[in-house]
Amino acid sequence: MIDSLLDEYGVIGGDHDQHFLVDDNFLNQIVDSAELTENDTVLEIGAGIGNLTEKIAETVHKLYAVELDPNLCDILIERFADYDNVEIIEGDILDIELPEFNKVVANLPYSISSHITFKLLKHEFELGILMYQYEFARRMVSPKNSKDYSRLTVTTNFFADASIIMKVPRSAFKPAPEVKSAVVKLIPRPASFDVVDEDFFLTFVTAVFGQRRKKLRNAILNTNSKLGIANVKEVVNKLPDEYMNKRAENLEPSELAYIANQLFNFKTA
């Protein structure tokens, strides 16, 4: 049925290099993973021609389907004209004000996955079932001391529990992408460690992972233009060597938070 829809609408990849998920088995698994009910309000990002949209809309109270491509929006409007619970939003997800929703289910545009993820994590919701490029998904869940442990890992860990719940082969899409994909389950929750100032912590994490091959002492000194610590050399020398002599990739999120808290306290003292 999905292949016939692609033929009917004459869509092969749209104008923004879309790769449409056409495998009905994976579409059903994604929807099942979201545990949707008639009380849910769902945000879908990158709705395409509505393969996933249709399955979500069968159950939920309200579905906001966001799509950037105006040609695909026309298709969505036509396809879901008789659905009272589906609202098509044309626009860039990074620019629009997010509607209120309690779950987000999406096959995300891979080129802006990190920007979308950071925007979502600052919004209140209960559950996310999100498809990413596999390498990106792996970075979200990697342990410290691994090459994939990154700013993304720490930021995700600060806002939510994340787990890869399925891998999706290239053959599940039309046209087939060049990369492998994976679906991540995100469950937002309060941070498991204390952060004195959230904005400073996130700035600190971005700064030190931008210098990931340097020990934390030098990473802080090299990026202090972003951190704004007065007498930074003196401050860094007061911090524990057990942290300062390690790289950012060797420290747990809670340990990075401890250092960020100490720096912020010196900054505001």
Residue stretches of the annotated binding site for S-adenosyl-L-methionine: 19, 21, 46, 67, 92, 107
Compute the Cα dihedral for 166, 75, 65, 53 and give only its sign: negative
Which of 188, 192, 191, 190 has its CA nearest to residue 102?
A: 188
Q: In the numeric block, which tokens belong to residue 81?
A: 């004209």
Interatomic CA distance for residues 185 and 203, integer angstroms: 25
Instruction: List residues forming the annotated binding site.
Output: 19, 21, 46, 67, 92, 107
Contact 238, 267 (CB under 8 A): no
CB neighbours of 4 closer than 8 A, spacing ≥ 6? Answer: none
Helix axes 151-159, 134-141, angle to 10 degrees: 60
Q: Report the SS3 class of residue 74.
A: helix
